[in-house]
Structure 1
Amino acid sequence: MPDNRSPDLGRPEVVVVGLGIWGAMTLWRLAARGVRAVGVEQFDIAHARGSSHGGARMFRETCLENEALVPTARRSLELWRELERATGTRLVEDTGGLLIGPRDGRQAGATLASAQAHGVEVEVLVPGELMRRFPGHAGIPDGHVGVWEPSAGVLRAEESVRAAIAQAEHHGATVVSGTRVLGVEPEPGGVRVRTALRDLVADQVVLTPGCWLPGFAPDLGLRSVHLPMTWFAPRGDPALFSRERFPVFMREIDADTVLWGQGDGDPRHVKLGLEPGPEPAPYDPVNGDLALTSAVWDRLGEVLPTAVPGVERFPSKVLNCGITTTADGQFVLGAAPEDPRIVLAGGCNGYGFKHAAGIGDLLADVVLGAADRTPLPFAAPGRLVAAEATAAQF
């Protein structure tokens, strides 16, 4: 376990700020390459204040958000398997996954396009066949299809964070938890990381603080928004919602509504939720334990009786979750425009967990000079600065 009793940290080469899934993976990949690295986390490891918790997250090779991410997804899966072998912990469940919606829509249609472009095996299911094979789903209209992706599955969220941290420490990284970072300040000869415990000066800093990134990079126009996670009890036979019979899915209900979910592994709960709407509620990560009202699941309660009628309308369990969004829905990944010694990684937009291991590897490449300072060009932080400046003119 991380030790907060003021260890002698010396001068690290790199400090990683924030040890959610992106930060934990980055720390592991740096330490595995022999980098003297320190990771700083303001809460406990695998805490529930950000967006790296909630039991399980979807993994898929097809990437609807940007086809250029497919190699990152594949690299991520390789590294998750490596992490499983190193720790003896099961982190990936090969359940397969479903993307459901109009054949030319943003879920099924984009999945088919990505699969064709990158040689990912998929199977197309018409509504009747889909509902017979996966009877937890109902009300799928004509013209919609299910795209079954056998290589998809679920990632164990908290276990993945803990496993990456354990391997980072195994390779020599130091983890300081329960310590909030108060500021990151470039200076001659290094970058100073101010904390309540002490100051650290490193050659480079990687910022992976999740919902706290807008405070460190205010010029990028990032937003932290509320995306709570909800679970519902089955009405009848819970076997209907096992992960085998109700695998991880995303389903386009209409132009403004995307339902997602999966069997939870616990027969008492089925995990279901909606993608953020056009005006999601802001999320205050400092007060992340804000009270949850029925407004969180009102729209979901309207959708479920038709789409998933085998569950109760009101949730059996609810957790807060906050994600960071960008104006164009793409990640922020690369050197800060004002100082290349600071590397930014954030703007997960709700789909970043599956890419975490590959992103940690890319960030290690950036730190070591083995990759461009912007390893994925569409994710360059500078694009958002330019967009903000342009918007300010009008």
Structure 2
Amino acid sequence: MSRWDADVAVVGLGAWGAAALWQLATRGVEVIGFERHRPGHALGSSFGGSRMFRITCLEHSGLVPLAHRSLELWRRLQEESGDDLFLPGGGLLIGPEQGAIVGGTLRAAAAHGIDVQVLGRAELRERFPRHAGVPAHHLAVWEPSAGVLRPEAAICAATDLAVKAGARLFTDSRVTAVEPVPGGVELRTAGGAHRVRRVVITVGSWLPALVKGLPLETLRMPLTWFRPVDDDGGFDLERFPVFMRETEEGPVLWGNGCEGGHEVKLGLEGYGPGARPIDPDDDADRSVRAEDWEGVARMLRGWLPGLAGLPDRVAVSFFTRTPDGQFAVGALDDEARFVIGGGCNAHGFKHSSGIGEALADLVTGHAPRLPLDFLDPGRFGAHTAPTTTAPTAQEGA
């Protein structure tokens, strides 16, 4: 009888973990996955019905090739699952020409040969009339390759395909300890211990509890949905596509039109006044306050007339950020027994399929197919492989 329960375990089956599980299983790796809740749950960061996808990654030049690869894998996941996971239709980036959003988008497009169109204020209003109050010196960049991803459906599709390929899934299963043993790793749960050769840890907001020495901060981020005043108010996804819009004062409003039974989804880059650092175990308050939606609501009359002044729904998600705004993806030891993926910085979902592939490469002893050294967690200095988690540590953000 083998001393190992599997070659690899994936702890945390949110967006990145589910993609890694799918990649490993379809390669024929004996893999088991652990999820504190159920795939596609609403207690982490990978929920809310929609996520923006774009190739023009203004956050780092190295993310553009990752976005290209991720789109290929999203399409593959969609084809293999038969689910509608990616809704193409383009996206808008609006703001001052030299601002963070438009300026960064144009630089990324020029550096990587990405097809975009620059729209002046008059053309923007003609094509997308729901965007009002745009200053004369602001521009819009139209990216035809952008679109909307469905997070919950994508996670469930990846885990379902992984199971069909031979992965074993442990849902409603909280890992309480992760410890190195000779030649491998031991995971402890309420149902018993599991020994594997290597582990991928993708636990989202609970990663700082497992991996000491990484400067990760967990934040509370509100999400809001607003109902159009008129039934045909021009806020469907086709006429009001996914967008990011920078203000003169700095805050960035983002969102997308109605689709899939959801109303218009809106939020603030920088996460708004309702965002604050939290401990996801000791301070997991998901109750909604006025400050969670007031900042967005104040913008509607001048920017997006035609939406109700009060939100139809408000939700709270958790996510982690790093000091430099880039992800933490890599091995924590020379043998790659411990591989982590975390620090999504609220812009990581679009890259989930590509990051899952990279995590699968790393944990099976292969170099990632794309240069991702800028995401190596070693850039933060000293860190340690996990030895014991906190008693309440959770998976699945």
**TM-score over 0.5 for the alignment?**
yes
Once the two structures are TM-superposed, the CA of residue 14 in structure 1 deviates from its matched residue by: 0.6
Give the stretch that moved more between structures: 185-194 or 366-375: 366-375
Matches within 5 A, 1:214-229: 214-229=208-223
Residue matched to 2:55: 61
Once residues 247 and 206 of structure 2 are traced to their aligned partners in structure 1, the CA distance between those partners, rounded to angstroms, is 32
- Asked if 1:38 is matched to 2:32, the reply is yes
252, 258, 276: which one aligns with 1:281: 276
**SS state at 1:93 partner:** strand
Once the two structures are TM-superposed, the CA of residue 233 in structure 1 deviates from its matched residue by: 1.0
Amino acid at match of 1:179: S
Residue matched to 1:326: 322
Percent of paired sites with the same residue? 48
Once the two structures are TM-superposed, the CA of residue 273 in structure 1 deviates from its matched residue by: 0.8
Amino acid at match of 2:380: L
Residue matched to 1:149: 143
Amino acid at match of 1:169: V
324, 347, 355: which one aligns with 2:351: 355
For residues 281-323 of structure 1, give each alpha carbon's deviation from its aligned partner in whole angstroms, at most 9, with x where no partner exists.
1244336452111011121122222111221221101111111
Once residues 84 and 195 of structure 2 are traced to their aligned partners in structure 1, the CA distance between those partners, rounded to angstroms, is 36
Once residues 68 and 97 of structure 1 are traced to their aligned partners in structure 2, the CA distance between those partners, rounded to angstroms, is 21
- Asked if 1:86 is matched to 2:86, the reply is no
- Is the contact between residue 73 and residue 354 of structure 2 (CA under 8 Å) also seen in structure 1? yes
Residue matched to 1:298: 294
* Residues matched between the structures, number: 380
- Asked if 1:315 is matched to 2:311, the reply is yes
Once residues 292 and 350 of structure 1 are traced to their aligned partners in structure 2, the CA distance between those partners, rounded to angstroms, is 19
Once the two structures are TM-superposed, the CA of residue 30 in structure 1 deviates from its matched residue by: 0.6
Once residues 79 and 374 of structure 2 are traced to their aligned partners in structure 1, the CA distance between those partners, rounded to angstroms, is 33
Residue matched to 2:362: 366
Once residues 215 and 177 of structure 2 are traced to their aligned partners in structure 1, the CA distance between those partners, rounded to angstroms, is 19
TM-score normalised per structure 2: 0.91
For residues 120-153 of structure 1, give each alpha carbon's deviation from its aligned partner in whole angstroms, at most 9, with x where no partner exists.
1100011121122111111111221110000100
5+ unaligned residues in a row in structure 2: which ranges? 384-397
Once the two structures are TM-superposed, the CA of residue 264 in structure 1 deviates from its matched residue by: 2.5
Give the stretch that moved more between structures: 298-307 or 10-19: 298-307
- Asked if 1:136 is matched to 2:98, the reply is no
Residue matched to 1:390: none
Once residues 38 and 354 of structure 1 are traced to their aligned partners in structure 2, the CA distance between those partners, rounded to angstroms, is 24
Q: 1:119 to 1:9 in 2, by over 3 A?
A: farther
Amino acid at match of 1:368: T
Once the two structures are TM-superposed, the CA of residue 256 in structure 1 deviates from its matched residue by: 3.0
Amino acid at match of 1:248: V
For residues 344-392 of structure 1, give each alpha carbon's deviation from its aligned partner in whole angstroms, at most 9, with x where no partner exists.
10100001000000011111111122206995111111122359xxxxx
Q: 1:125 to 1:22 in 2, by over 3 A?
A: same
Amino acid at match of 2:280: P
326, 342, 346: which one aligns with 2:342: 346
Give the stretch that moved more between structures: 53-62 or 309-318: 309-318
Once residues 226 and 213 of structure 1 are traced to their aligned partners in structure 2, the CA distance between those partners, rounded to angstroms, is 15
50, 75, 97: which one aligns with 2:69: 75
TM-score normalised per structure 1: 0.92
5+ unaligned residues in a row in structure 1: which ranges? 1-7, 388-394
Higher relative contact order, structure no. (Cα contacts within 8 Å, ≥ 6 residues apart): 2
Q: 1:268 to 1:47 in 2, by over 3 A?
A: closer
- Is the contact between residue 272 and residue 292 of structure 2 (CA under 8 Å) also seen in structure 1? no
Q: 1:218 to 1:304 in 2, by over 3 A?
A: farther
Q: 1:204 to 1:145 in 2, by over 3 A?
A: same
- Is the contact between residue 52 and residue 146 of structure 2 (CA under 8 Å) also seen in structure 1? yes
Once the two structures are TM-superposed, the CA of residue 226 in structure 1 deviates from its matched residue by: 1.0
Q: 1:211 to 1:99 in 2, by over 3 A?
A: same
